[in-house]
A = this chain, B = another copy of it.
Amino acid sequence: MTAAPPAPDLDALLDRVRQFVADECVPLEPLLLNHDYAALAEAMDEVRDKARADGLWNLALHADHGGAGLPLPEFGRVSEALGWSPLGHWATNGQAPDIGNMELLLAHATDAQRGQFLQPVLDGAARSCFAMTEPEHAGSNPTVMSTTARLAGAVPGGVAEGASGAGEWVLDGHKWFTTGFDGADWMVVMAVTDPEASVYKRASMVLVPTGADGVEHVRRLPVMGDEGAGWLSHSEIRLNGVRVPEGNLLGPRGGGFQLAQERLGPGRIHHCMRWIGVCERAIDLMCRRALAREIAPGRALAEQQAVRFWIAESRAETDAARLYVLDTAQAIERDGARAARAGVSAIKFTVAGTLGRVLDRAVQALGGLGVLDDTPLAFWFRHERAARIYDGPDEVHKGVVARQELKRYR
């Protein structure tokens, strides 16, 4: 990017982050790529301690919660720097879905919820997850949901028995793609609490310990050949009459969709800038290989016009995509996520598309090495394919952008 250099402080922070990722995360990548999850988790614990000690902890959060207190666009730059390695965000406690959950609880949790759920995650002593998508329903339409949470003894449509706060939520449902459930301490469950309400007022968020009775771990999903483990896994679970205190409701009853929407804006910046970081690493791997690999004695791969085009197109697309995300980050800060929602949707499919193309080019440039797990490319190639699917598939986001655009004419 040719953009104006960042402010001195950010500049220095970015340098520190890049150095940290290069020194601490990149060397551990082989553990990840070889599925050596136990050794990885152990090594990452040390790296996380180091990050905490070095002041590189909770970079996404406000200063008064132990975070770096960066404005969203500046955090975006940090997220890009962390994205250089698949381990960067985890190392600094900025991994999804914890980061989204922390933001959610910072904004909406009661003091009791903060103490019980939020603080351990802020400290890195616990992990959390987010249970929303259901196997039976298209993720592209989150309003159709079968999981329910009812207040024990509630009279249908009337006042709940436990309205005093002494009741219990009883949850029943089936969720999948619950990232990091394996080993997590608690989860946010999206469930229908008010089936008679208008479509966008039916669901609420409930905090559920993963160890609660009735929480059934069906399986870690085998995603692109790998079921992973711990934070690096996605689970299918069932909630079989799970009971939690009434006070575990997060935010207002019926406010599930609104909270999910709020969670999305900054989360989108986080993800998109992480993808930009992935693109930068892919370009780096591509350039290095192109210069080092001989296709004939004395003739480097980099002399091939096709390879040069891949590099140039990747550079241009990545730089344009970065500016688009940062611009949207500014819009969110200035106008709020709701006002910026066309942009928030547009950057999703734009950057996910760029990511896919850059990774594809890099794989091709590396040839046989590109499909091997000797670099993180093949890992990203297969796992980031989901970027165009999760958090709303491209098709949904294009629909959002078109609707906003057409609205101007009505």
Chain A residues close to B by CB (< 8 Å): 1-4, 33-35, 133, 135, 137-141, 144, 176-177, 221-226, 283, 287-288, 290-291, 293-297, 301-302, 304-309, 311-313, 315-317, 319-321, 323-324, 327-328, 330-331, 334-335, 340, 342-343, 346-347, 349-350, 363-364, 367-368, 370-374, 378-379, 381-382, 385-386, 388-390, 393-395, 397-403, 405-406, 408-410
Contacts and interface: CB of A to CB of B under 8 A. Distances in A.
A389 to B, nearest CB: 5
B302 A305 contact: no
B224 A402 contact: no
Contact of A3 (B305, B321, B331, B346): B331
A398 B313 contact: yes
Contact of A319 (B138, B324, B403): B324
Query: Can you list the 6 inter-chain pairs with the closest CB atoms, starting with the nearest?
Result: A308-B402, A2-B331, A305-B305, A312-B401, A312-B398, A222-B373
Contacts of A402: 307-309, 311-312, 315
Contacts of A410: 291
Nearest to A321: B320
A386 B360 CA distance: 11
A307 B317 CA distance: 22
A373 B220 CA distance: 11
Contacts of A409: 287-288, 291
B330 A367 contact: no
Given A320-B323, A343-B2, A312 B399 contact: yes
Is chain A's binding surface mostly helix, strand, loop or mixed?
helix
Given A367-B139, A367-B389, A373 B406 contact: no
A294 B138 contact: yes
Contact of A385 (B135, B176, B363): B363
20 contacts: A4-B330, A135-B368, A137-B294, A222-B374, A223-B372, A223-B373, A224-B371, A225-B379, A287-B409, A304-B305, A308-B406, A309-B402, A311-B402, A319-B346, A320-B324, A320-B350, A364-B393, A370-B389, A381-B382, A382-B382
| Chain B CB within 10 A, most for which of A135, A140, A308 | A308
A384 to B, nearest CB: 10
B296 A141 contact: yes
| Chain B CB within 10 A, most for which of A140, A393, A406 | A406
A312 to B, nearest CB: 4
Given A4-B334, A315-B346, A394-B364, A372 B221 contact: yes
Contacts of A176: 368
B327 A405 contact: no
A405 B138 contact: no
Given A319-B346, A389-B368, A330 B3 contact: yes
Contact of A309 (B287, B306, B327): B306
A2 B327 contact: yes
A364 B323 CA distance: 27
A385 B2 CA distance: 27
B321 A378 contact: no
B316 A346 contact: yes
